[in-house]
Amino acid sequence: MFSDNYARSLMAACGELPGLEALKGAKVLITGATGLIGSCLVDALLLLNAARGMAIEIHAAGRSEPGMRARFGASADDPRFHYVPYDATKPLALDFEADYVVHAATSAHPLAYATDPVGILQANVVGTMNLLEALRGWGHGRFLLLSTGEIYGENPTLPEGFSEADTGTIDTMKPRACYPEGKRAAETLCASYAAQYGVNARVARLCHVYGPTFTPSNSRADAQFLRNALNGQDIVMKSAGNQVRSWCYVADAVSALMTLLVRGEAGQAYNVANRHAVASIRQYAQTLADIAGVKLVFELPPELEKAGYTKISRAVLNPTKLEGLGWKPRYGLREGLEESYRACKY
């Protein structure tokens, strides 16, 4: 599916992480295992098994076994790869206990926010509670929730970016709030299960993660930009693109998640962002256009798609707390976009 360069970038980002030996021989459950981040995490664990003999039992959870096999190809036949039927909105039924659980199952793109806000809330709130209940029953295991910088809301007065103690405003009466409010509730569940029941749960607040593992259904602007670039088409911007974001290449994001699994503290949240990759959406798009040799053009979005757009003008996250665990990214914005483009263009 991807060029060999993708595997090299994953191993470069994840292969020498401090504390990685803790995953050796572990059972790891990943929900949302065919998504942009979940699938990259699965790829990284498969590579560690092949290259380092880590013997990690990978339980990849998703709604469709054919979709899982289409995404992972021959890797799905690996004896340490296990497909787990999973719907985050339904009761949980597992016939095994995991040492590590990563909850990455959610739709995180504008069209989903506009068309299925209830389903997004269910996946984030009900799905998180079901998994935390499972860990409570097992009496062991580490849990990692993939949350979002959107939980901070709108607060453009913080030039150094949001720290984990900051908050901003979110209009709870807008259906678009389904995503950040669902994640806020899921985070509080993690903190509550850690405090009340001793469940070993922590939270990763992700910035805007991009990479070649974007899914066909992803309607986010950066995914559309990469599709355009790969097809040799002009990159189409549907706004002025002045919103400023923290960006992170998916291999670096996955290395952060692994760091949090083995070194993050229970009951804590950590920003996942590259302090050297802060740029406006327009700068992001222009950089990718330059790499692909295409033009950047502008047009108005359809109303349905526009309804799913965030109103947050500045979403910059301060990663100091995560860096304190020994994590650091390898790829700046241009380097990450070059990796993304080359991974798919072969």
Report which residue type is found at 313: S
Q: What is the DSSP string of 56-118?
A: -EEEEEES-HHHHHHHHGGGGGSTTEEEEE--TTS----SS--SEEEE--S--SHHHHHH-HH
For the segment 211-225, the average pLDDT, to the nearest whole number, is 86
% of the chain with per-residue pLDDT over 70: 95
- 241-to-45, 87, 200, 204, 269 alpha-carbon distances in Å: 35, 35, 40, 26, 29
Determine the pLDDT at residue 219: 75
Chain segment 151-188, per-residue pLDDT in tens = 998 765 666 789 999 888 888 999 889 999 999 999 99
Determine the pLDDT at residue 111: 80
Chain segment 280-335, per-residue pLDDT in tens = 999 999 999 999 999 999 887 666 555 545 666 788 999 999 999 999 999 999 99
Cα gap 265→270, rounded to integer Å? 9
Indicate the pairing of strand 200-206 with strand 235-237. Answer: unpaired
Entry pTM: 0.93
Superfamily (CATH) of domain 4-209+249-274+317-331: NAD(P)-binding Rossmann-like Domain (3.40.50.720)
Determine the pLDDT at residue 49: 95
Determine the pLDDT at residue 346: 60
